[in-house]
Structure 1
C-alpha cells in the first residue's frame, strides 16, 4: 500500500488499480485499546495521477471484533468504507492553496504515498459507540441492578411527564385547596 511518487508517475495515462488484502491488526490494536481483533482488510480502488495531485479512490471491507457496549462480550462488526483523498507535494500545494477543491488535500511529507494510514484512520473514525450482541439487540429488557436501571429516552420522558402531572406547584397549592372546598359545598 506504499508507492514512490516516481513509480506512480508511470500511471499518468491510466489509473493504478488496487485490489489487495492487507493486515492492519498490529497497528490498529496499538492505536485503539478497545479493539479486540482485526480481520484482513480487503482493499479495492484506483489512484489517478494528475499533473498536480494524486487522487485515491478506495473502498475496503474489514471485520473488527469489538466489546459489546452493554456486556463487554466480543462482537464481530463488519465495516465497508469508501473514501476519496487528494494527495499533493508541498510545492504543488503552495501553488493552489486557497483554491476551491483543494481545501482538504493531504500534503505528502515524503516522496511516497502510503494508503495504510488513511485506511487505519477511516476504520478508527467509523467505530460505533453502540455495539450490541445479537441477543442484546433482540432483548426488550434493558439491564438493571440494585438502585439503578437503564431506560430509553422515550420511557424517561414519559416518566417525567407523569411525575409533573402528579406534582402540584406549591404556589398554587392554596388555590387547589379552595377548589376542593368549592366542590364539597356544591
Structure 2
C-alpha cells in the first residue's frame, strides 16, 4: 500500500485508518536470509496529517520462525509491537520542530510505502539472541567440544570475579609499596 504525501495532505484533518493484512515473507527473507518463515503481518492504526508532515501510529503483529542463535533449531517468535513515526518530504530540511526522541523518516520521492515501513520495523524488532524454550532454562546444558565450551553471562561474571580475587600467597605483597613509600 503506497500513498504520496500530496494524497495524504488532501484528506485534510481526518485521520486515515489502516487495518491491513500484509504478506511480507518473501521481502523479509530477501533482506534477512536466516528467516525460515513468516506469517502474514496484521497492521492496525492510523495516519494523521499536520503541518509537519504525516504522523503514523501503528500496531503490528507477526509470527516469525528463526534459527536459534545457539543451536540453529527453529524458534517461533511472536512479535507484537507499536510504532510511532513522523514522515516528511525529502524537500524538508528543518528538523528542529521535532524532539530528539522522535523517529523522523524522510520519504524518498514523497511516497509512503506501508509495506516497506512495516518490513523495516519488523527487522528492527528481532532480538539479537533467539533461543528455544529449552535453551532459556537455567539448567540447560551448554554445547561443549574438545578444548572448548560455551558459558552463560552469569558464569562468565563468576569466572571474572574469581580472577580478581588475590592469591593468598601474595597477600603480604599487596601492601609492600604503600609501606615503603611512607619511609
Q: Do both share a fold (TM > 0.5)?
A: yes
Greater CA drift, 161-170 or 106-115: 161-170
1:7 is matched with: 7
Change (3 A) 1:170 1:63: same
Root-mean-square deviation (CA), in Å? 2.6
Post-superposition offset of 1:102: 6.6
Instruction: Provide the residue aligned with 2:54 in structure 1.
Output: 54
Partners in 1 of 2:160 and 2:87 — Cα distance?
53
Matched, 1:101 2:98: yes
User: Normalising to structure 2: TM-score of the pair?
Assistant: 0.79
Partners of 2:81 and 2:29 in 1: CA distance: 19
Aligned to 2:117: 118
Q: Structure 2: which 5+ residue stretches go unaligned? A: 177-183
Q: Deviations over 1:66-108 (max 9, x none)?
A: 10111101101011121111112234x24xx042317653222
Structure 1 residues 126 and 167 mapped into 2: Cα distance closer, same or farther (>3 Å)?
farther
- Provide structure 1 residue ranges, at least 5 long, that are not aligned to the other structure: 176-186
> 1:52: how far off?
4.0
Q: Which has the larger radius of gyration?
A: 1
The equivalent residue for 2:155 is 155
Deviations 1:145-178 (A, max 9, x none): 2222222333334344445455634994xx9xxx
Task: Say whether 1:136 aligns with 2:135.
Answer: yes
Whether the aligned pair in 1 keeps the contact of 2:44 and 2:59 (CA below 8 Å) is yes
Whole-Å separation in 1 of the counterparts to 2:9 and 2:162 = 69
Do the aligned residues in 1 keep the contact of 2:5 with 2:89 (CA within 8 Å)?
no
Taking structure 1 as reference, are residues 153 and 85 closer, same or farther at Cα in structure 2, changes over 3 Å only? closer
Q: Residues of 2 paired with 1:125 and 1:169: CA distance?
A: 50
Question: In the alignment, what sits opposite 2:145?
Answer: 145
* More displaced 10-residue stretch of structure 1: 157-166 or 113-122: 157-166
Are 1:75 and 1:131, in contact at CA under 8 Å, matched by a contact in 2?
yes
